[in-house]
Amino acid sequence: MPGFEYIGEAEHRQVLEVMASGVLMRYGFDGPRKGQWKCRELEENLATRFGVRRAHVCSSGTSALSTALAVCGVGAGDEVVLPPFTFVADLETVLLAGAVPVFADIDETLCLDPRSVAAAMTPRTKAVLAVHMCGAMARIDAIMELCRTHQVTLIEDAAQAAGATFHGKALGTFGRVGCLSFDYVKTITCGEGGAVLTDDEETYRLAQAYTDHGHDHAGADRGADGHPHIGANFRLSELHAAVGVAQLARLDEILEVQRRHKAMLKDGLAGIRGLQFRELPDPAGDSATFLSVLLPSEHDARQAAKALAEAGVDGCFYWYDNNWHYHRKWDHIKTFTSPGRLAIDRFGYGSDLTKITLPQSDAVIGRTISMLIKLRWTEEHVRDRLARMKSVLA
Ligand SMILES: *Cc1c(COP(=O)(O)O)cnc(C)c1O
């Protein structure tokens, strides 16, 4: 997920344009900014590139998730179904909304198993948070259908899957709201940043207000704005948006390079006995930020992860032992440990997360190793890498 590898001349020029105007904030100052609106420009370009009616940028992928939950009406006591293989931000934002996280299992797509989502639904389910992990898609068609049948809101976390598609449609545009992240290690970056995508005008109206203390942004005078509801300050600065404008323009080039590098590795590893690739519901839509392989057993995967590191194959992740991305090491989340007491703890709704068991997900993640695909690799480097990987995995 390496947009940072491409920070260069275009990003530099964009930032200088903002500095030259002196207007670093996205709202107001209409006179001095002389027609320069970087956040708006990024939003328009995002909407066009992702094929969605509205994009609204915000300060991070995490604030995009908080915004998505809020504008979809997820609040105290509401259940949100989500996968145990994700980033802690999804759990944090659900808990901070006062809502109840309910885990559904993943399958060999490394994303939600629709059958497990169906089983996790209760009359209190308000939303399903589908996370498109490691650059590629969940079974989003089946999950969408399920949400429609149960009349539950679908929110997508496409933070790790910018530019990926399912049957030609961008991930992040299937649910009522889709969330993107532009943090420093994502496919495109602006240092810190995020966006919500939606086709629904009312959802957009709520989102743009929510990220700015509920300002309705109805008139030209910010001081005179109405505040129909409360919100937060999740605004993105013009400086960050400027970097985002430059990076978004390079998204297709980034995808092209990632796909080329990944195809070389994948072709080279195909046919190794016992080695399986992550299942992709639509291989053509993979953004190719990662190559993920499944080994026959947890023991094999642990051995392979160790051997790959020893062979100098960097950028490999054994998620099963990772405390940011997999539920096994989320003790602080499961015990609701927070500087201030969380609503879920105070009111005692929801089940005891310390007691959950997810054998189906464990069986998948326990066998999985993912490898980051980099942009600056030369063909020679990829060939060398492949040779090392083959000697370990064969
Ligand atoms: C990075 C990430 C986020 C959060 O994005 P930030 O911009 O870092 O706040 C959310 N979900 C997933 C799956 C992520 O990888």
Residues 273 and 222 both lie in one domain: no
Instruction: Give percent above pLDDT 70 in the chain.
Output: 100
Tell me: the pLDDT tens digits for 329-343? 999 999 999 999 999
Instruction: Write down the pLDDT at residue 212.
Output: 98
Q: Of 60, 51, 299, 20, whose CA–CA distance to 164 is shortest?
A: 51
Beta bridge partners of residue 198, listed in sequence order: 54
Separation between Cα atoms, residue 95 and residue 76, nearest integer Å: 9
SS3 at position 292: strand
- In which domain, by residue range, is 314 found? 252-393
Residues 298 and 381 both lie in one domain: yes
Residue 62 confidence (pLDDT) above 90 = yes
Task: Answer with the one of 201, 227, 251 that is the final residue of a domain.
Answer: 251
CB 247 within 8 A of CB 6: yes
What is the pLDDT confidence band of residue 260, given thresholds at 50, 70 and 90?
very high
Residues 176 and 164 both lie in one domain: yes
Tell me, in angstroms, the distance from the centre of ligand 1 to residue 34's CA.
Answer: 34
Tell me: the pLDDT tens digits for 313-364? 999 999 999 889 999 999 999 999 999 999 999 998 877 899 999 999 999 9
Residues 94 and 203 both lie in one domain: yes
Q: Of 49, 311, 330, whose CA–CA distance to 172 is shortest?
A: 49
Tell me: the pLDDT tens digits for 219-235? 888 888 989 899 999 99
* CATH code of residue 58: 3.40.640.10
Separation between Cα atoms, residue 248 and residue 299, nearest integer Å: 41
Angle (nearest 5°) at CA 327 between 323 and 330: 55
- Which one of 134, 160, 182, 327 would you pick to mutate in the ligand 1 pocket, going by the greatest count of ligand atoms within 8 A of its CB? 160
- Which one of 85, 134, 157 would you pick to mutate in the ligand 1 pocket, going by the greatest count of ligand atoms within 8 A of its CB? 157
SS3 at position 390: helix
Tell me, in angstroms, the distance from the centre of ligand 1 to residue 187's CA.
Answer: 11
Reply yes or no on whether 186 is catalytic: yes
Pairing of strands 177-181, 169-170: unpaired
Q: Of 44, 49, 113, whose CA–CA distance to 81 is shortest?
A: 113
Pairing of strands 79-82, 100-103: parallel
* Mean pLDDT of all residues in 110-129: 98
Residues 221 and 273 both lie in one domain: no
Angle (nearest 5°) at CA 369 between 65 and 302: 125
Residues 201 and 281 both lie in one domain: no
Residues 347 and 204 both lie in one domain: no
Tell me, in angstroms, the distance from the centre of ligand 1 to residue 30's CA.
Answer: 32
Of 126, 186, 262, 374, the catalytic one is 186
Tell me: the pLDDT tens digits for 29-41? 999 999 999 999 9
Residues 209 and 286 both lie in one domain: no
- Which amino acid is located at 321 in the chain? D
Instruction: Write down the pLDDT at residue 108.
Output: 98
Instruction: Write down the pLDDT at residue 323.
Output: 85
Tell me, in angstroms, the distance from the centre of ligand 1 to residue 89's CA.
Answer: 6
Q: Is 197 exposed, middle or buried (0-12, 13-18, 19+ CB in 10 A)?
A: buried
Residues 77 and 220 both lie in one domain: yes
Overall number of domains in the chain: 2
Residues 99 and 176 both lie in one domain: yes
If one counts every other C-beta atom within 10 angstroms of the C-beta of residue 123, the result is 6
Q: Of 22, 1, 46, 36, whose CA–CA distance to 244 is shortest?
A: 46
Separation between Cα atoms, residue 244 and residue 267, nearest integer Å: 33
Residue 1 confidence (pLDDT) above 70 = no
Q: What is the DSSP letter of 279?
A: P
Token output for 112: 């939600």
* CATH code of residue 350: 3.90.1150.10
Question: What lines the ligand 1 site, CB under 6 Å?
Answer: 60-62, 86-87, 89-90, 131, 157, 159-160, 181, 183, 194
Task: Report phi then psi at 292, rounded to 5.
Answer: -115, 130
Task: Write 214-219 long-range contacts (CB < 8 A, 24+).
Answer: 215/27, 217/27
- Which amino acid is located at 98 in the chain? G
Residues 231 and 376 both lie in one domain: no
Residues 181 and 259 both lie in one domain: no
Token output for 180: 């993107």
Compute and round to an integer the Cα radius of gyration of the chain. 21
Single pTM value for the model? 0.97
Instruction: Write down the pLDDT at residue 2.
Output: 79
* Mean pLDDT of all residues in 283-292: 98
* Mean pLDDT of all residues in 13-36: 96
Task: Answer with the one of 228, 251, 274 that is the final residue of a domain.
Answer: 251
Task: Answer with the one of 251, 282, 315 that is the final residue of a domain.
Answer: 251
